[in-house]
Structure 1
């Protein structure tokens, strides 16, 4: 096993809202699994101030970012009898100064989103486990190829 060149230093849930959908209303209980049209927010910002109290941070400041991921169901749809909105942020750093085929920012964005999505899956499963419609688990998602800046 090898240490990943991208590390999640800190994460936090900014918002989590989950509603059970009334299964008596068929238009709200349609499964989304075939289309997965979640609404997604993805952001990245350089976060040099994370290292303000660390005198030996060096060039780590230039490779540390705040990544935000938000996922929600559209208001007129549900996912496994739930409507939800989850927003998470994380401080993500690249241990490497460069990558052969991608920018540091793109690598941090791609892997940061993937790590945050794992947290979102866990939060939704934990929250819904005690709700009347039962536990809901998001499918595994892939953020490979996400670019921090549009091409």
Structure 2
């Protein structure tokens, strides 16, 4: 086992919204009876340079300032959903490529994009599960997702990112 060249340095939950989904009959559906095969979870993803991350934080990784990236991942239920909950969560993480000489089968920015989004999704999945476990419809465990094969937006290296750019300007009715 060896450390990944993509390291998560910091993570933040920028937004979380979860509420029970009540049907027309004022009935709540049980989370345990629900199958995600019937709906498509919406995602929004963004990437940019985390230019100011190292300004106040001492680090042990050497010269990584030019390889420090922020990813944002937003996940939400469709506006009209049969899911037991309506939810939206936005997570942001700061990642560094620690070994720019790492030999991978794909470009390092693709590796960072894929591994970083997978890590953020795992964090969001755990938070939704933990939050809903104390709610009336029971625990909602999001399905495992993969971002392998996804490619980052072209020319992203020229962009500094605002905290939580995922879903920017894409509010769902009823989501605040």
**TM-score calculated relative to the size of structure 2:** 0.75
Name stretches of at least 5 consecutive residues in structure 2 with no aligned partner. Answer: 156-176
Contact 1:125 1:136 in 2 (8 A): yes
Q: Tell me the alpha carbon deviations over residues 113-135 of structure 1, each in whole angstroms, 9 at most, x when there is no partner.
A: 00000100110011101100011
C-alpha distance 103-25 of structure 1, shift in aligned 2 (>3 A): farther
**Distance (Å, rounded) in 2 between the aligned partners of 1:94 and 1:72:** 29
Q: Does 1:7 align with 2:7?
A: yes
**What is the match of residue 44 of structure 2?**
41
Which TM-score applies when normalising by structure 1? 0.86
When residues 56 and 141 of structure 1 are mapped into structure 2, their CA distance, relative to the original with a 3 A threshold, is closer
In structure 2, how many angstroms separate the alpha carbons of the residues matched to 1:106 and 1:25? Answer: 47
Q: Secondary structure at the match of 1:146?
A: coil
Choose between structure 1 and 2 for higher RCO, CA contacts under 8 A separated by at least 6 residues.
2
- 1:122 counterpart (110, 122, 126): 126
Please identify, of 63-72 and 31-40, the stretch whose mean Cα deviation from structure 2 is larger. 31-40
Cα root mean square deviation, aligned: 2.6
Shift of the 12–56 alpha-carbon distance from structure 1 to 2, 3 Å rule, reads closer
Q: Which runs of 4+ in 1 moved over 6 A?
A: none
TM-aligned CA distance change 1:49 to 1:23, over 3 Å: same
Give distance in 2, aligned partners of 1:24 and 1:134: 19
State the Cα distance separating 1:12 from its structure 2 match: 0.6
Q: Which sections of structure 1, spanning at least 5 residues, go unmatched?
A: none
Shift of 1:5: 1.4
Q: How many residue pairs are counted as aligned between the two chains?
A: 149
Deviations 1:81-127, CA, capped at 9 Å, x for gaps: 11100100000111121444322222111111000001001100111
Q: Provide the C-alpha distance between the structure 2 equivalents of 1:55 and 1:12, rounded to a whole number of angstroms.
A: 19
Cα distance change on mapping 1:4 and 1:58 into 2, 3 Å: closer
